[in-house]
Chains A and B, each alone.
Chain A
Amino acid sequence: DQQVKQNSPSLSVQEGRISILNCDYTNSMFDYFLWYKKYPAEGPTFLISISSIKDKNEDGRFTVFLNKSAKHLSLHIVPSQPGDSAVYFCAARHDDYKLSFGAGTTVTVRA
C-alpha cells in the first residue's frame, strides 16, 4: 500500500534554473513530511522537513510547500546546481513515528 507517491521518476533541469519535485500522499493522519537526498552508493541524508501545521518551510536554496487539502507537497530547489544531481525521496511520518517513503525522483542538473 503506497501511501506516499512520487509520480515522476526523473527530472532534468538546466543549471541555475528551478527544480520542482512533487509528492502526493493518501493518509490524512500524516503530521510531518521530510525530503531526503541520496547520492549513489551512499545512504539517504535528511534535507528539509515541514510540519502539517505549516504550508511552507525554507532553508537556503530549498523550499518545501505543503497543500494539505490536496494532500500534496513539493520541493523547490533554486537555483539548481550540479551537486544537486541525486535521488530525492519524499517521506511522511505516522503518529507512531514510522516513516513512509516515496519511490524517489532522480534529478539531473545539466551544465
Chain B
Amino acid sequence: EAGVAQSPRYKIIEKRQSVAFWCNPISGHATLYWYQQILGQGPKLLIQFQNNGVVDDSQLPKDRFSAERLKGVDSTLKIQPAKLEDSAVYLCASSLSQRQFYEQYFGPGTRLTVT
C-alpha cells in the first residue's frame, strides 16, 4: 500500500512570495489533515477535510493560507503572501475516517524556509 505522498520536499522562498504544497493521501482515505510543525514544537492542525468538505479550519490563518481538496482525493495548501514565521514543516496526513483518528498516516512533510 502506497503511503501519503507530498511534494515538494523542500522549498525556499522570500517573504511576500507565494507557495503551494501538494498532498496525495492513501487511496480510500476519506479524511485528510494538514499540520504545521514549527521547529521545536509539535504538529498543529491547520485544516481537516472529510472527502472534499472542510471539517475544521479554525487554526488556519485564512488571510494568507488556503486549502482545497477537489474531488475528495488530492489536496493543495497555499500560502500567499508568505511571512518569516511560516517557516516550518507542513505535514499532510490521512485516515480512513474521522473516527479513526488514531490511524492517521503521515507523509514525509514539506520543509518551508521563508527568507
Kindly specify which of B11-19, B35-43, B73-81 makes contact with the partner chain: B35-43
CA distance A109 to B42 in the complex (A): 22
Closest residue of chain B to A38 (Cβ to Cβ) is: B106
CA distance A103 to B102 in the complex (A): 18
CA distance A46 to B104 in the complex (A): 7
Cβ contacts A73-100/B at 8 Å (1 or 0 each): 0000000000000000101010011111
B101 touches A99 (CB 8 A): yes
A98 touches B108 (CB 8 A): no
CA distance A100 to B59 in the complex (A): 12
Query: Is B62 in the interface zone, CB < 8 Å from A?
Result: no
B42 touches A89 (CB 8 A): yes
Query: Is A32 in the interface zone, CB < 8 Å from B?
Result: yes
Select B91's contact among A9, A34, A43, beta carbons within 8 Å.
A43
Closest residue of chain B to A48 (Cβ to Cβ) is: B102
CA distance A7 to B48 in the complex (A): 28
Query: Is B109 in the interface zone, CB < 8 Å from A?
Result: yes
- A34-B102, A97-B99 given as contacts; is B108 within 8 A of A42 (CB)? yes
- A89-B42, A91-B42, A103-B42 given as contacts; is B104 within 8 A of A98 (CB)? no
Query: Is B25 in the interface zone, CB < 8 Å from A?
Result: no
Interfacial chain B residues near A104, Cβ < 8 Å: 42
Cβ contacts A41-64/B at 8 Å (1 or 0 each): 111111001000000000000000
The 6 closest A-B pairs by CB, nearest first: A43-B106, A101-B42, A97-B101, A101-B43, A44-B106, A103-B42
A to B CB contacts below 8 Å, 11 in the list = A43-B108, A45-B106, A49-B102, A89-B42, A97-B98, A98-B101, A99-B101, A101-B43, A101-B44, A103-B42, A104-B42
